[in-house]
């Protein structure tokens, strides 16, 4: 009995998803050159492992997974800001949020760049991929409580950068999650 698997052309995948992959890569790395480099690595890996894609409708999520793995390898070459030392007091975050929020994409990128990698991935999985906290926990293999904690702190930090004239107080300490 022959296995019927949909034929997926890498050219079609590039055509349909290169923009989304590049945008995601840019939000992760913050520069045009690095984003294109990461995008290229993603599609090369996808090309080599095309047989793993069983359902073409899931190509986008599959590419994002490859992208995150490639980014994970890149980040080991940098000096990371440890999430444990990045504490924000949620009780200090104002409850009054802007009624009609206007987000400057450049300022958003600056805010993302300042996040430790553990927080950055959680935020992008939430905002870019639209994952629930449970899905994020599964993909990053961390407990749901950790995801909720990181998500709350990272989102509060983004808002502080985007909407508040002065940054919310951040204390550097041996944090707990």
Partner 1 sequence: MDHEPLSSEVMSALEACRPGRQDEVLPEVANRVAQAPPAQVARMRRSLERVDRAIMAAMEQVPVPAGLAERLLERLAAADQGSHELIAHEETGSVLTCAEPAAGRAPTWAKPWPLLAGGALALAASLLIAVAVWPRESLQLADMQTQIRAFYAADGHSAAANSARSAGGSAPTGLGGVSPESVVGRHAIELFARGGIAYELAHRRTRGTLYVVPLKAWRGPTLTGLTAIPTAHSTSGTTVVAWTDNDNAYFLVAKGDSRAVWAFFPRNAVS
- Subset of 123-162 contacting partner 1 (CB under 8 A): 124, 126-128, 130, 132-134, 144-145, 147-149, 151-152, 155-156, 158-159, 162
Pairing of strands 87-88, 170-171: antiparallel
23-52: contacts with partner 1 (CB under 8 A): 23, 26-27, 31-34, 36-37, 39-41, 43-49, 52
Q: Is 177 in the site for partner 1 (CB under 8 A)?
A: no
Which residue of 95, 165, 166, 176 would you call a contact of partner 1, by CB under 8 A? 95
> Coil, helix or strand for 130?
coil
What are 154's two structure tokens?
A: 């990272």
Smallest distance from the beta carbon of 107 to partner 1, in angstroms? 9
Task: Please name which of 133, 23, 21, 134 lies closest in space to residue 69, comparing C-alpha atoms.
Answer: 21
What are 162's two structure tokens?
A: 């985007």
Contact 117, 145 (CB under 8 A): no
Smallest distance from the beta carbon of 83 to partner 1, in angstroms? 15
Which residue of 22, 64, 86, 119 would you call a contact of partner 1, by CB under 8 A? 22
CA distance 165 to 167: 7
């Amino acid at each position: 009995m022959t296995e019927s698997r949909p034929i997926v052309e890498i050219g079609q995948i590039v055509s349909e998803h290169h923009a989304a992959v590049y945008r995601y890569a840019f939000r992760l790395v913050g520069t045009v050159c690095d984003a294109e480099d990461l995008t290229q690595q993603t599609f090369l890996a996808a090309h080599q492992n095309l047989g793993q894609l069983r359902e073409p409708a899931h190509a986008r999520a599959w590419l994002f997974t490859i992208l995150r793995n490639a980014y994970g390898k890149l980040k080991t070459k940098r000096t990371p800001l440890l999430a444990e030392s990045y504490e924000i007091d949620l009780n200090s975050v104002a409850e009054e949020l802007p009624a009609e929020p206007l987000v400057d994409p450049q300022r958003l990128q600056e805010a993302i760049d300042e996040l430790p990698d553990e927080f950055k991935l959680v935020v992008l999985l939430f905002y870019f991929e639209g994952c629930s906290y449970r899905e994020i926990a599964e993909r990053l293999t961390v407990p749901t409580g950790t995801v909720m904690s990181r998500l709350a702190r990272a989102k509060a930090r983004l808002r502080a950068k985007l909407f508040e004239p002065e940054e919310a107080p951040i204390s550097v300490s041996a944090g707990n999650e």
